[in-house]
Amino acid sequence: MPARTTSTPSASSAASAASTSSARSSASSSPVLRLDGLGWAVRGVPIVEDVSFSVGEGEFIAFIGPNGAGKTSLFNLISGIYPATHGSLHLDGADITAETVHARARRGLGRTFQTSSLWPGMTVADHVRLAAQAAAGPGASYRLWRRAERYEQQLADTLERTDLTHRADTLASALSHGEKRKLELAVLLVSEPRLILLDEPMAGVSAEEVPALTELIRSVHRDLGRTVLMVEHHMDVLLGLADRLAVMHHGTLLALDTPEAVMADPIVQQAYLGEAL
């Protein structure tokens, strides 16, 4: 598999295409996120290598790639959970390569996790309250004592949007997996991030629930105009959502282009889809 040799032209062409082919949003605006040669290695073993691309305002990029390709690791690098060992990262033009997780979050970077990452002992409503509080800034923890009720409206709206109103007082640990996925989105939404990273939001969601969740993600992107990066294995889901498709393989960005172009790329087929027929 000549992944490594061919990845460079493919990825760089994708990167250069980013400014022009970015979707419906204003193409003129500067990129929300820009990665330059981003890499991460554990004890010398590279996990993510030399990833460069930029994301335009309001764009939706879906990441695919085999298990272990480094998709989650890339998201961890972007959100600051892993420290980059190479390259740099800019959010809205500001260099955030050295910033902490929470600092990046305060800049409007929100994410979900591949494995539901919630607070099992807290109620649904408290999840949303905590997120609202976080969005309002650290000082809000103190101010909220006096004006807690203000956030209740936000709470109600968010629960409504994610169809969790009837579960408001349920502990997160008691939710079904689909509801947990929704709650993750609710937590994300209430903090109104500028850039959203979704790591396999459909993982473990039953087939019946997939369309509703897809709709929710679509509305977040379309109606609220959020910029979204998403890892997903469900091709049918992401093909309906994504403006561009990124293929990760061996920690490198193998391709980044329109879904049609990517799916037609023989190298991608080879590396990811296992196409040999």
Partner 1 sequence: MSAEGTDTSSTDTATVARGTDTGLAETHCEHRAESGAIPRTGDPVTNRWTGVHRALRWWPIALLITLLVAPYSALPVPGLLDGPLGSPGSLQLLALCLLYGGLATGYDLLLGRTGLLSFGHALYFATGLYATDLGMLELRLPFAAAAVFGVSCSVLLALLLGSVSLRVTGIGFSMVTLAFAQAGSILVQRNPGGATGGEEGRSAPADLLPSGLLGIENTANLYWIAVGYLVLTVAAVHWAVKSPIGRVWEGIKENERRVEVLGLRPYGYKLVAFVLAGGLAGLGGVVYLLLTGGATPQAATSDATLALLVMVVLGGSGTRWGPLLGGVLYTWASHRLGDLANSSAVADLPAVLRVPLSQPLFLLGALFVAVVYLLPGGLARLPARIRSARTGRSAPAPAGPGTAHPTGGTPA
Partner 2 sequence: MTSSPFSAQRPAPSAHSASSPSSASSPSSAAEPLLSVRDLRVVIDGLHILHGVDFDVAPVGVTALLGRNGAGKTTTVKAVMGLVPRTGSIRLSGSELSSLPTHLVVRHGIGYAPEDRGIFAGLTVAENLRLAERAAGSGSGSGSGGEAGEPNYALVHELFPELKQRAGQLAGTLSGGQQQMVAIGRTLLNRNRLIIADEPTKGLAPKIVAEVAEVLARAAEAVPVLLVEQNLALVRRLAGTCAVLADGRTAHRGDTAELLADEEAARRLLGVGSRHPLAGGPRPAAAPASPAAPVVTAEVKP
Ligand X SMILES: Nc1ncnc2c1ncn2[C@@H]1O[C@H](COP(=O)(O)OP(=O)(O)OP(=O)(O)O)[C@@H](O)[C@H]1O
252: part of which helix (H) or strand (E)? strand 252-257
Q: Are strands 60-64 and 109-111 parallel, antiparallel or unpaired?
A: unpaired
Question: Per CB under 8 A, which of residues 183..212 are in contact with partner 1?
Answer: 187, 189, 191-194
Binding mask 179-218 for ligand X (x = CB under 6 A): ---------------------x--xx--------------
In the set 7, 54, 72, 191, which binds ligand X (CB under 6 A)?
72
Residue 35, phi then psi, degrees to nearest 5: -110, 130
Which of the stretches 47-55, 69-77, 100-108, 217-225 binds Mg ion when contact is defined by CB under 5 A?
A: 69-77
DSSP state of 269: I
134 binds partner 1 (CB under 8 A): yes
Residue 5 site contact among partner 2, Mg ion, ligand X, none (CB < 5 to 8 Å, cut-off depends on kind): none
User: Alpha-carbon distance 140 to 129, whole Å?
Assistant: 11
Question: Per CB under 8 A, which of residues 111..170 are in contact with partner 2?
Answer: 115-116
Q: Residues 161, 226: contact at Cβ < 8 Å?
A: no
User: Alpha-carbon distance 41 to 254, whole Å?
Assistant: 18
Strands (E), 86-180: 86-91, 94-95, 109-111
114 binds Mg ion (CB under 5 A): yes
In the set 16, 19, 30, 153, which binds partner 1 (CB under 8 A)?
153
37 versus 137: smaller Cβ distance to partner 1: 137
CA distance readout (Å), 114 to 8, 56, 75, 152, 184: 28, 24, 10, 28, 10
Q: Residues 128, 159: contact at Cβ < 8 Å?
A: yes
Q: Which residues bind partner 2 (CB under 8 A)?
A: 1-2, 43, 45, 64-68, 115-116, 173, 175-177, 180, 200, 203-204, 206-207, 233-236, 239, 250, 259-260, 263-264, 266, 269-270, 272-277
